[in-house]
Amino acid sequence: MNPNIKELLGQITTLEDELRAALREQETQLLYQFKGKRVEFEGSIRETHRKLKRSLWRWIVTDRPQNFLTGPIIYSLIVPLAVLDLCVTFYQASCFPIYKIAKVRRADYIAIDRQHLAYLNGFERFHCTYCAYANGLIAYAAEIVARTEQYFCPIKHARQLFSSHSRYERFLAYGEAADYHAKLEEFRLALEKEIKN
């Protein structure tokens, strides 16, 4: 890899870490803390949240009608999402040990915690739980596929992509044929090292 690109990728990683730390610091100013896996707000914040909660009736009356009309379509996706969840989980459980790839922790991607927000009513909590599951699942599946791609074909595309997974930028350039198989083995060994960390 070009040393300049390698240095820029290192800087990006450092900046992303700093951004995560700054965001976490900002969140702690909202006066909540973790008690085990549960999030708890300071008493006055919790009380303010309760006062801001819309009743179910008021929410139904004031919510946009198209939200009710499209709800069945949105929630029908739970079936393919659950099938995807089962399939990718089974795939990594059965194949990753053979390939010596570290397994992706599902809990690192699917966070169901918005139901603790006192300013959300039952419908809003349900929506938030569904969205957290769906988006977390897609991220979980994407990481499983990204590790698979790193193992089998860590080569960038010729065409510029709008978005890609976190491993993609470190892949080989399109058409970089010199020592391909040796470099492929390096990518595979890097995956093995993740198991040990």
pLDDT tens per residue across span 31-73: 666 677 676 666 666 666 666 666 666 666 677 777 778 889 9
Question: Per residue in 182-193, pLDDT tens?
Answer: 999 999 999 999
Provide the pLDDT for residue 27.
62
Residue 180 within any structural domain of the chain: yes
What does the alpha-carbon distance between residue 32 and residue 41 come to, in Å, rounded to a whole number? 4
Residue 5 within any structural domain of the chain: no
CA atoms within 13 A on the CB side of 26: 6
What does the alpha-carbon distance between residue 15 and residue 21 come to, in Å, rounded to a whole number? 10
Choose among 174, 172, 166: nearest CA to 194: 166
- Residue 151, number of CB atoms within 10 A of its CB: 19
Contacts within 8 Å (CB) and 24+ apart, 126-130: 130/74, 130/75, 130/78
Residue 178 within any structural domain of the chain: yes
Question: Per residue in 99-141, pLDDT tens?
Answer: 999 999 999 999 988 777 878 888 888 889 999 999 999 999 9
**Model pTM score:** 0.76
Range of the domain at 181: 31-196
Task: Give me the number of domains the chain comprises.
Answer: 1
Residue 99 within any structural domain of the chain: yes
Residue 14 within any structural domain of the chain: no
Task: Considering only CA atoms, give the Rg of the chain.
Answer: 22
Provide the pLDDT for residue 60.
66
Neighbouring residues of 175: CB distance < 8 A, sequence distance ≥ 6: 158
Residue 190 within any structural domain of the chain: yes
What does the alpha-carbon distance between residue 83 and residue 88 come to, in Å, rounded to a whole number? 9
Q: Using H for helix, E for strand and C for coil, what is the string for 47-89?
A: HHHHHHCCCHHHHHHHCCHHHHHHHHHHHHCHHHHHHHHHHHH
Residue 12 within any structural domain of the chain: no
Report in angstroms the alpha-carbon separations of 180 from 49, 143, 172: 57, 23, 9
Q: Which residues of 44-63 are buried (b: 16+ CB within 10 A; e: fewer)?
A: eebeeeeeeebeeeeeeeee
Residue 185 within any structural domain of the chain: yes
Counting Cβ atoms within 10 Å, is residue 167 exposed (0-12), middle (13-18) or buried (19+)? Answer: middle
